């Protein structure tokens, strides 16, 4: 069932950007490419599910950007759009407007998306870890921080280190 398309998503216009309803609908389209995550998200309440979709939409857009042949310029674009979103600037680009909405409504820590972009930049540069420490650092940027952001979006306090360490 697609709550966003059936009008069950929370509406509300963003100043100069896309409405929450449209952002959630676009994010739903992105999450359907990850069937297990899409399925698991339905175990959450509507607000948490929609927020998870918005976060996934931004992460996926970033990963797609840096996997383009022009990865270096795409990384600059990703950083610029992410910074604009972190400052609440509407871009008319659903994944980034969705991130801006989450930052504003859920108080997500802005340093996490910046560090995730650092990890995606490693992907763009075809990073290959040389040792276990580099591997763990890379995994934290690409997997751990998105999981921690998802936990915070779902209601875990940003200072709850014990829970976020398990995310």
What pLDDT is recorded for position 18?
75
- Dihedral, 16, 153, 112, 11 alpha carbons, nearest 10: -10
pTM of the model: 0.86
Residues 6+ apart with CB under 8 A from 117: 62, 75, 78, 79, 82
**Maximum CA pair distance of the chain?**
49
Low-confidence ranges of the chain (pLDDT < 50): 1-15
Contact 98, 54 (CB under 8 A): yes
**Rg of the chain (C-alpha set):** 16
Cα 54 from Cα 14, distance rounded (Å): 14
């Amino acid at each position: 069932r697609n709550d966003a398309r059936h009008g069950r998503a929370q509406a509300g216009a963003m100043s100069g950007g896309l409405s929450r309803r449209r952002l959630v609908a676009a994010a739903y389209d992105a999450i359907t490419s990850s069937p297990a995550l899409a399925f698991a998200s339905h175990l959450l309440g509507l607000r948490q599910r929609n927020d998870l979709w918005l976060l996934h939409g931004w992460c996926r857009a970033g990963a797609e950007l840096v996997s383009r042949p022009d990865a270096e310029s795409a990384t600059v674009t990703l950083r610029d759009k992410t910074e604009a979103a972190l400052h609440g600037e509407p871009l008319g680009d659903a994944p980034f407007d969705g991130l801006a909405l989450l930052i504003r409504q859920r108080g997500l820590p802005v340093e996490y998306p910046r560090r995730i972009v650092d990890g995606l930049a490693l992907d763009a540069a075809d990073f290959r870890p040389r040792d276990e420490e580099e591997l763990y650092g890379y995994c934290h940027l690409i997997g751990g921080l998105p999981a921690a952001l998802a936990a915070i979006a779902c209601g875990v306090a940003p200072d709850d280190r014990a829970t976020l360490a398990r995310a």
